[in-house]
Amino acid sequence: MKDRVVKMMKSMLLLLILLGVVSGRRTQLLKGLPATSTVEENAAAGVSVYAFNVTVSPLSSEGVAILPTIVNSNPLTEAFEIKSKGDLEYRVVTTGNPVLDYETMPKSFDLQIFVEDTTGRTDLKVLTVRITDKNERPVFQGNMAIQTVTIYVLEGTPPECIYQVDAADPENAELKYSLFPESVPFLVLKSGAIFSTKKFDYEKDPHCYFVNITVTDPDGLNSTKTLNINIININDERPYFTTKQRIYRIPEEQSLGTVVANMTAKDPDDEDSPSRLFYSIQSSDRYFSINPLTGVLHVTGRIDRDALPLRLHPNISVIVQVEDSPSGDHASEMEITIIIDDINDNPPECNPSNFRKEANENMTAGTFLLDLRNYCKDNDVDPSNNQFNFTGLSGFGSNNFALESTVSGRLVMTESIDLENPAHPGVEVYSLTVRVQDIACPSYSSKYTFCTSFDIFLCYIIYIYIRIKPVNEFFPVFSNLSYEFNVPEITKVGSSIGRVNARDKDWPPSVITYSIVAGGGTKDYTNIFWISPTKGDVKILARLDYESTQKHILTVQASDQEKTATASVTVNVLEINDEEPVCSPNFYSFQILVSLAVGTNINGFRIECQDRDSDPRSFRYFINEGNVNNHFTFSPSAGSNTSRLILASRFDYESGLDTNWIYRLRVYITDDNLLSARDKATHLIKTGTVTLSIRVIPNPTTVIPTTPGFTVVTKRENLYSESAWYVPFVITLGSLLLLGLLGYLGFLLAMWVRTSCPLTGKADGAPLINAPEKKKPKKEVVVTMTKLNTVFDGEARDPVTGKMYEFNTRSGARRWKKSGEPLQPAPAVQGTSSATDNGGRGRDRAEAPSKKEPSKKRKEPTAETKPAAKPWAGQSETPEQDGLRLQKQKEEFEDRMLSSPAPQGRY
């Protein structure tokens, strides 16, 4: 933003200077200019380019009014500025922004220097600055230009290109590359490609090389960068195990994570550092796992000696593998055996160990609930270890239950439970525990949730959950028998207008759902109220209207899924001024004369307003927009539902007071006329609008002042509104109907052309009306010659249009009949020759649709117009020279004629 302001100020200064130079006095003030100077590219800021003096008039006591300034340059640049050396000496120096570059910038700049002394004398001279080329150092490109490049080379890799150096000279000179020190096993080509000269051995050669690469131009200028070349060791030796033990013994039921063995190995490739090896178990094993980094073998699954397959085969074989990389380039394996020792660890087991039973509320004492003996057993193989009993019934509410004996394990109720009784404060679920204890002395195990008795007996815990099923005994009860809500009619749809509440004495409290079972309907809606099924909030679904309905009575039901209760809800609709005045007409356009008298009711116009919830005297009229110079007013302006438009002041276009010839008035009609100033601040006021367009017509003698022409460009943007969803639907439907109509009109046009304009060039035309299909007779060779001047000797009515048309009985040519024109006689035509079939029998063929034409011998055409006759069967006549050529066309035409009837009409 600051640069734009500076450029704008410079442009304004240049304009002022140029105006001053043109209109002022030109005097030789700049001594030493015009001149030409040179400066080397890449010159730093402040480098002197040229020095000059300013000579002022002896009458100028204060020296220079406007210091020497570069007002313009060609091409435009900010690379130069003027500095004062003292007194009236100045010099042009570089700014350093931008830095001069011979290769990318113009080679010369023309600087226009301006000065003005205190007497108003000015001078403008040009200093030409030429940029001279300077040899620059080559520069590295790519990654080497910004950082030290590190290259990695795998040991054992044959000599190859390891890096491509990218450098450039600003003068596009040919560059030369070199490496230092020269003793390194690398070389660089003229192209900048660096190659290794040997196959590296990580164990014998240095692991890292630092190489300086220098690029030099023909003048000896150079740049140097450093390359870090690292030799990467590769793994080529197989690791081996250092652990000697092969057999291990552990007792069963070891806790997860128990260490079984610590496997160790060594990799010859890592003699100078700890080996980084990876351990794994190759055999399928569900009991053990090994740490892949440390080689520690530990328990990961339950080891049960009494279960299959360990019951039959207590020895477990594990194959451990060690690798020197995750990809498994080199590996070794070792098999170890783990023997599982048996312990007495099986307590009695119950399946399931958790029991859930239900008992109805108020169930009698002594009711049997559960037999635990049917679900418990001891899996020990030795019969002396599979004896157990049931003891230690405990838990919350255990005094309501009991075990018949320690051996049977039968659970019964000792008393009835009532959930609503204060002695049982809403307890629905009782949690009981029973201890199933092994009689034999077991060894300790943490397999289950065990308890110990005198530290010698192992027991198993059974969890029993008894749910007391509630009985629905009570009806829901509303907090009030009836509810009344007062709701303003302008309340937004979806707003909550009140809440009903009901409770149930049953325990646990029943989930009560609310619903509206009666009331709340209008003529437009089945129900305009909704109640939250869970909270009882009553909301409105449609806008309330006091003018239609002042009170709604609802019946609300509360249900606990079994029992119900109802309450009455009365909704009183409070009247609010929510209807805006509606006026007729709400838009009107008319013209008036400029000489119309003040106080005239303009064109007799008046508006009439109505408001459903306001008194007719509450209307107030005022023009809010477009009433320039207050030429228009309404009378009366308040207190009536009708008002007239009055011209309040005369138009004055001659003096220029009025300039508008079209007035677009926006009239506001409010319903607050009967309200006091205090009530207007608190009451809701509605406003109606009326738009009037008035064009003032000048008198014939009125002189309209001429004003400069201008063009008003109105930009309109069409925005689609979601509420106008019907617009694209109507457009699409109308387009489809229009396309259908155009298609139907095209079809009718094609039918008319087909019936009105028969094909030309044919000997005969196709008839208009099809006849029933008849069997095709044997073909005959017929040659017909017709005069060009076609005579229409028949007429018929078109069945489609109902119009009369004329046709030629020979050729079938047709045309619409003109009114009052008589029927033309048929001309004489040349005869036809007919060939006979193989049977020797002659057969007549009609040449016209009419079959009543008499047969006559062939005659030559004369001037008289006589009907033609077919030749008799067996008569032999020679056709015309072109008869053979027309024979095939005649056969095709006859085939079509046999499938279509002849025109029917009068001759």
Convert 352-416 into a string of H (helix), E (strand) and C (coil): CCEEEEEEECCCCCCCEEEEHHHHEEECCCCHHHCCEEEEEEEECCHHHEEECCCCCCEEEECCC
Lowest mean pLDDT among 406-410, 461-465, 563-567, 632-636: 406-410
CB 555 within 8 A of CB 566: yes
The confidence score (pLDDT) of residue 384 equals 67
The residues that bridge with 553 in the sheet, in sequence order, are 570
* % of the chain residues with pLDDT over 90: 18
- The answer to whether residue 422 scores a pLDDT higher than 60 is yes
Q: Could you tell me the pLDDT band of residue 132, with boundaries at 50, 70 and 90?
A: confident
Stretch 794-819: mean pLDDT, rounded?
A: 79
- The answer to whether residue 39 scores a pLDDT higher than 60 is yes
Stretch 306-317: mean pLDDT, rounded?
A: 85
The confidence score (pLDDT) of residue 502 equals 92
pTM: 0.32
Indicate left, alpha or beta for 723 from its phi (over 0: left) and psi (-120 to 50: alpha).
alpha
CA 157 to chain centre: 53
Q: Could you tell me the pLDDT band of residue 747, with boundaries at 50, 70 and 90?
A: very high
Stretch 694-698: mean pLDDT, rounded?
A: 90
Rank 191-205, 696-710, 794-808, 854-868 by mean pLDDT and report only the highest.
191-205
Stretch 587-603: mean pLDDT, rounded?
A: 88
The confidence score (pLDDT) of residue 54 equals 86
- The answer to whether residue 894 scores a pLDDT higher than 90 is no
Rank 215-224, 700-709, 852-861 by mean pLDDT and report only the highest.
215-224
The confidence score (pLDDT) of residue 7 equals 62
CB 475 within 8 A of CB 564: yes
Stretch 96-112: mean pLDDT, rounded?
A: 86
- The answer to whether residue 233 scores a pLDDT higher than 70 is yes
The confidence score (pLDDT) of residue 773 equals 45
CB 419 within 8 A of CB 427: yes
- The answer to whether residue 905 scores a pLDDT higher than 60 is no
Q: State which amino acid sits at residue 205.
A: D
The confidence score (pLDDT) of residue 446 equals 39
The confidence score (pLDDT) of residue 737 equals 93
- The answer to whether residue 89 scores a pLDDT higher than 90 is no
The confidence score (pLDDT) of residue 459 equals 73
Helix (H) or strand (E) holding 743: helix 726-756
Phi, psi of 589 (to 5 degrees): -130, 130
pLDDT tens, residue by residue, 342-392:
777 777 888 888 999 888 877 888 888 889 888 888 877 666 667 788 888
Stretch 637-651: mean pLDDT, rounded?
A: 87
- Give the angle 140-141-145 at the CA atoms, nearest 5°: 65
| Residue carrying structure tokens 């017509």 | 697
Stretch 790-809: mean pLDDT, rounded?
A: 79
Q: Could you tell me the pLDDT band of residue 906, with boundaries at 50, 70 and 90?
A: very low
- The answer to whether residue 504 scores a pLDDT higher than 90 is no
The confidence score (pLDDT) of residue 714 equals 46
- The answer to whether residue 720 scores a pLDDT higher than 50 is yes
Q: Could you tell me the pLDDT band of residue 63, with boundaries at 50, 70 and 90?
A: confident
Residues across the chain: 907
What's the mean per-residue pLDDT of the chain? 77
d(CA 613, CA 317): 98
pLDDT tens, residue by residue, 819-851:
655 555 544 433 333 333 343 333 333 333 333
Stretch 847-868: mean pLDDT, rounded?
A: 37
Lowest mean pLDDT among 336-340, 442-446, 573-577: 442-446
CA count, 13 A, side-chain hemisphere, 875? 17
Rounded to a whole number, what is the distance in angstroms from the first to the last CA of the chain? 99
The confidence score (pLDDT) of residue 902 equals 39
| Residue carrying structure tokens 């199933």 | 436
The confidence score (pLDDT) of residue 898 equals 43
User: Higher model confidence: residue 273 or residue 215?
Assistant: 215
